[in-house]
């Protein structure tokens, strides 16, 4: 029988399990042998590969993290590592591979495709930072986790009339920061995509807010900007408003996936296997204009998306 390998690579994200499950179940449904590969490309190189059954993905649809585990695999960035991976795929009779991860993971998949393995990428990252896709699995869950945390921080900021500075994940992208900023009414959102000046873009809106009667403030700092502690110290020094920094950290990567992430994972996982069923490889699954589509892998890796300027403007108006 034709066989599909499935792995998760790079940073983990809630909904990866739902995607694994979708690949395994649809793969078996269409007559494939499906093999799980542990710890990303490390497992491919080391032969940490096992056959999966319909039941091996029972009770995981609601679980965060990834049951296949994930890793960053430095050797896979070298031609030698790619060749080792391709050789091990042959040992296990894998003719195709579904890679759930980010841009970096898709680059590895592309290199592997040069060795005759049909690869399909599924976007999985909380950061939503994949150029070809409007949406990545895990993003909605992370947004909700950050929203929940910020609502709690707001309670205490109100009680103490403080300025709360929250640093959120997103790597070089500000999608989490901007959207939670809107959802939670942040006064200031610092995004890696936009240059800012401390006085004009942080201090001035806080002071103007105070003059209009505000008594507590929320500042969101995206990971790609960083330095939340320094930002809080500086705000307190200049304005005299007591300020506290919170770096949310890895809590953002865990938790039970939301409906949106589970359903998207299901649709993307099935689409990936459908392509392989039709003998098509070297594609990345993406969401475009709200629909699940697939894009040639080189083309997908070239694509860029911008943060929405209208949304940035809107976040400023809503926090007046
Ligand atoms: P993500 O997939 O979330 O972007 P990384 O960038 O850390 O995460 O990539 C995950 C793994 O994919 C890396 O550890 C490496 O094994 C592989 N990878 C990343 N970039 C490349 C590349 N340029 N060529 C081959 N493999 C790569």
Please list, in sequence order, all residues whose beta carbon lies within 8 angstroms of the beta carbon of residue 105, skipping any fewer than 6 positions away: 9, 10, 40, 41, 99, 121
Q: Is the pTM of this model over 0.95?
A: yes
| DSSP class of 198 | I
Q: For residue 11, which of 138, 109, 108, 113 has the smallest C-alpha distance?
A: 138
Spatial separation of the C-alpha atoms in residues 275 and 31, rounded to whole Å: 14
Spatial separation of the C-alpha atoms in residues 200 and 60, rounded to whole Å: 48
Among 15, 46, 66, 105, residue to substitute to test ligand 1 (most atoms within 8 Å of Cβ): 105
H-helix or E-strand spanning residue 143: helix 139-160
Please list, in sequence order, all residues whose beta carbon lies within 8 angstroms of the beta carbon of residue 159, skipping any fewer than 6 positions away: none
| Cα–ligand 1 centroid distance for 281 (angstroms) | 19
Residues with CB under 6 A from ligand 1: 9-11, 41, 72-73, 76-77, 101-105, 107-108, 111, 125
For residue 241, the number of C-alpha atoms closer than 13 Å in the C-beta half-sphere is 27
Residue ranges for the binding site? 11, 21-25, 72-73, 102-105, 125-127, 154, 162, 169-171, 185-187, 212, 214-216, 223, 244, 250-253
pLDDT, position 18: 98
pLDDT, position 151: 97
Spatial separation of the C-alpha atoms in residues 277 and 2, rounded to whole Å: 9
Spatial separation of the C-alpha atoms in residues 210 and 320, rounded to whole Å: 10
pLDDT, position 117: 97
Q: Which two tokens stand for residue 263?
A: 């359903």
pLDDT, position 179: 98
Ligand 1, residue 42: give the atom nearest the CA: 16
* Residue whose CA is at the smallest distance from ligand 1 atom 14: 72
Please list, in sequence order, all residues whose beta carbon lies within 8 angstroms of the beta carbon of residue 110, skipping any fewer than 6 positions away: 119, 282, 297, 298, 301
Residue ranges for the binding site for ATP? 11, 72-73, 102-105
pLDDT in tens, the chain (320 residues): 699 999 999 999 999 999 999 999 999 999 999 999 999 999 999 999 999 999 999 999 999 999 999 999 999 999 999 999 999 999 999 999 999 999 999 999 999 999 999 999 999 999 999 999 999 999 999 999 999 999 999 999 999 999 999 999 999 999 999 999 999 999 999 999 999 999 999 999 999 999 999 999 999 999 999 999 999 999 999 999 999 999 999 999 999 999 999 999 999 999 999 999 999 999 999 999 999 999 999 999 999 999 999 999 999 999 98
Please list, in sequence order, all residues whose beta carbon lies within 8 angstroms of the beta carbon of residue 3, skipping any fewer than 6 positions away: 32, 33, 34, 35, 92, 93, 94, 95, 96
pLDDT, position 1: 64
Residues designated catalytic: 127
| Cα–ligand 1 centroid distance for 78 (angstroms) | 11
């Amino acid at each position: 029988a034709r066989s599909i390998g499935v792995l998760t690579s790079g940073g983990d994200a809630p909904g990866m399990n739902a995607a694994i499950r979708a690949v395994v179940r649809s793969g078996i449904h269409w007559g494939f042998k499906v093999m799980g590969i542990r710890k990303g490309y490390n497992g491919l190189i080391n032969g940490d590969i096992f056959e999966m059954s319909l039941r091996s993905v029972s009770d995981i649809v609601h679980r965060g993290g990834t049951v296949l585990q994930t890793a960053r695999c430095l050797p896979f960035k070298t031609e030698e590592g790619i060749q080792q991976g391709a050789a091990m795929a042959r040992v296990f009779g894998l003719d195709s591979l579904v890679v759930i991860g980010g841009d970096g993971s898709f680059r590895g998949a592309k290199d592997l495709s040069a060795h005759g393995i049909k690869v399909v990428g599924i976007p999985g990252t909380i950061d939503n930072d994949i150029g070809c896709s409007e949406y990545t699995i895990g993003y909605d869950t992370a947004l909700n986790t950050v929203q929940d945390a910020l609502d709690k921080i707001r309670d205490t900021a109100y009680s103490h009339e403080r300025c709360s500075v929250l640093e959120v994940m997103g790597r070089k992208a500000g999608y989490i920061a901007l959207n939670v900023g809107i959802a939670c009414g942040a006064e200031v959102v610092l995004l890696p995509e936009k240059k800012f000046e401390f006085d004009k873009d942080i201090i001035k809106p806080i002071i103007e807010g105070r003059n209009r009667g505000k008594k507590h403030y929320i500042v969101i700092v995206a990971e790609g900007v960083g330095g939340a502690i320094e930002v809080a110290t500086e705000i307190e020094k200049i304005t005299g408003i007591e300020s506290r920094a919170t770096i949310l950290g890895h809590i953002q990567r865990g938790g039970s996936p939301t409906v949106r992430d589970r359903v998207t994972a299901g649709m993307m996982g099935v689409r990936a296997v459908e392509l392989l069923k039709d003998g098509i490889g070297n594609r990345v699954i993406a969401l475009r204009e709200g629909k699940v589509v697939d894009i040639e892998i080189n083309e997908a890796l070239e694509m860029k998306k911008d943060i929405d300027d209208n949304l940035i403007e809107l976040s400023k108006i809503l926090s007046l």
